[in-house]
Structure 1
Amino acid sequence: MDRIIYTAGSGASQAMQQQSVVNHNLSNVSTPGFRAELDAMRAVPVQGDGRLATRTSVAATTSGTDFSPGYMNATGRRLDVAMQGDAFLAIQDPQGGEAYTRRGDLQVDADGMLTVKGEPVMGEQGPIVVPPDAEFSIGADGSISVLEAGANPDEIAPVGRLKLVTPDLQALTRGDDGWFRLPPGDDAEIAAPQPLDEDARLQSGVLEGSNVSATDAMVAMIDGARRYDMQMKVIESADQNAQRANSLLSVQA
């Protein structure tokens, strides 16, 4: 009887973990450039002394990411950019090195530094800084041109280029901070920066939304709740059967 409880209990535990993933995705349905997290389970045999050949547990596999594109929203805002294809925007990783994102709602901080969610945006020569009060535009290749306050219209000058990279999607891992990173190489603590992709392109004045479907997430949440209830009913039924068996043994004794 304990085998039933053990199997159902492990299934209920994983159902709760899947609910956590769905909740996380649903909470980011409005986050620009967000990529949905994928969760999967697999059956594994139980190891250890006294194990039974038929006893299995449920374990979560390494979480993955849905890299399908999100919807494109034309905002007309000069600091909004949407990367095309599989291109990512490089940012300065707070942990060192570079991290990558599809989020394109750029900001300019008090020091004139271009940022995404507070982290400096990387250019060909490092973080990009624009002159204060300057008007600037972002080209399809990520090049940034500025027109300083009071300058003539023909005095537009380049100040840098957004670093667009096209990493191996299968190698990217998502950190707790939401940034994507590549695994470090041998004997290295952080991954080497990716080279700038000369062919990568973006759209200015357009913002890519999350690829999470609120409808699909709600359906998955309801399905997960039902599966959890089903596992708990199995445990309850097993407990009732055990109580009946004990009652019969007591009567016979």
Structure 2
Amino acid sequence: MDRLSFNSMAAINEERIARHQLSNEIANVSTIGFKKTFDVTLQSHQAVGQGFDSRIQPRMYVNDQVQLDPGPLMVTGRDLDVALNHKTVLGVTGSNGELAFTRRGDLKVNASGVLETGTGHLVRGQDGGPITVPPGFKLSFGTDGTLYAIDPAQQGVPQQQAIAQLLLRDASATPLSKREDGLFKVVGKEAGTDFATGPEPVSLTPQAVEGSSVNPMASMVKLIEQSRSFEHQVRIIKESKSNDESGASMMKAS
């Protein structure tokens, strides 16, 4: 009977990672540009050790890779909002000063006149440095990531001037994982490493943002399934204990 309890406890312990992952997804249903990261699955694994060689227990296998499937497109009409198309990622400066990437496109100009994301990470230009915006200029983006500025005080018909090019990379052929601050980095490389853009052309949609790629209904269904699985495993442990007690009572002398 102890094998039933052993396997049930192993299943409960292994599924905790999936529960944490689902809780994180549900908490970020409304986060702009949020991407799912973990894919988890339970597989049978033979336990090795004294007294355990004949036992098979479940083990959780995790694929820690950012899923760049596009989320819903939300048109805002705001000049500094951009939605990254396909698997394009935007280069920013992380909280530790290193190069990182994101899909968040709710951009703004801070008090120092530097372009940053909604979370305060400085946006990088194609040259790798921050993008400084002239004060008082009207800004807009092209679909290729070019930042244009118009001087409202200019005489006659105002002319657009290209002042910067966003650091955009196609990550369709490059696996990415999440950093501790929620930004992306290249799998198997040191944090802050750049990568060559992939075969797909980089592009963005101006005056729009990308919503979270989390499907709230699917996440809730998975959470319910995990809750039922937990209850099922606990029931097995209780039944195993009951059967063991019944067997012990049968061995007693009458």
TM-score (norm 2): 0.89
Q: Is the 8 A contact 2:66 2:175 kept in 1?
A: no
Q: Is the 8 A contact 2:11 2:233 kept in 1?
A: yes
Report the equivalent of 1:158.
Answer: 162
CA shift in 2, pair 1:199/1:65, >3 Å:
closer
Q: Pairwise mapping of residues 70-219 of structure 1 onto structure 2 (< 5 A)?
A: 70-116=71-117, 117-125=119-127, 126-152=129-155, 153-168=157-172, 171-183=175-187, 185=189, 189-195=190-196, 199-219=201-221
1:47-96 deviation line (CA, Å, top 9, x unaligned): 22232323324233233443221111111011110111111111112334
Report the equivalent of 1:49.
Answer: 50
Q: Quote the Cα distance in structure 1 between the aligned partners of 2:94 and 2:121.
A: 8
Q: Is the 8 A contact 2:64 2:177 kept in 1?
A: no
Report the equivalent of 1:29.
Answer: 29
CA shift in 2, pair 1:14/1:169, >3 Å:
farther
Q: Quote the Cα distance in structure 2 between the aligned partners of 1:242 and 1:10.
A: 19
1:158-209 deviation line (CA, Å, top 9, x unaligned): 2211111012555211123211100354xxx435323467931111001111
CA shift in 2, pair 1:96/1:169, >3 Å:
farther
Q: Quote the Cα distance in structure 1 between the aligned partners of 2:193 and 2:15.
A: 37
SS for the counterpart of 1:62 is strand
| Residue segments in structure 1 that go unaligned for 5+ positions in a row | none
CA shift in 2, pair 1:77/1:62, >3 Å:
same
Equivalent position to 1:243, from 214, 238, 245: 245
Q: Quote the Cα distance in structure 2 between the aligned partners of 1:242 and 1:91.
A: 60
SS for the counterpart of 1:60 is strand
- Tell me how far 1:148 sits from its aligned partner: 3.4
Q: Quote the Cα distance in structure 2 between the aligned partners of 1:45 and 1:239.
A: 23
TM-score (norm 1): 0.89
SS for the counterpart of 1:160 is strand
Q: Is the 8 A contact 1:44 1:59 kept in 2?
A: no
Q: Is the 8 A contact 2:70 2:85 kept in 1?
A: no
CA shift in 2, pair 1:63/1:35, >3 Å:
same
Q: Quote the Cα distance in structure 1 between the aligned partners of 2:104 and 2:114.
A: 17
- Tell me how far 1:233 sits from its aligned partner: 0.6
- Tell me how far 1:113 sits from its aligned partner: 1.0
Q: Is the 8 A contact 2:34 2:213 kept in 1?
A: yes
CA shift in 2, pair 1:170/1:54, >3 Å:
farther
Q: Quote the Cα distance in structure 1 between the aligned partners of 2:197 and 2:164.
A: 13
Is the deviation greater in 166-175 or in 126-135? Answer: 166-175
| Residue segments in structure 2 that go unaligned for 5+ positions in a row | none
Work out the number of aligned pairs and report it.
249
Equivalent position to 1:226, from 210, 219, 228: 228
Q: Is the 8 A contact 1:183 1:191 kept in 2?
A: no
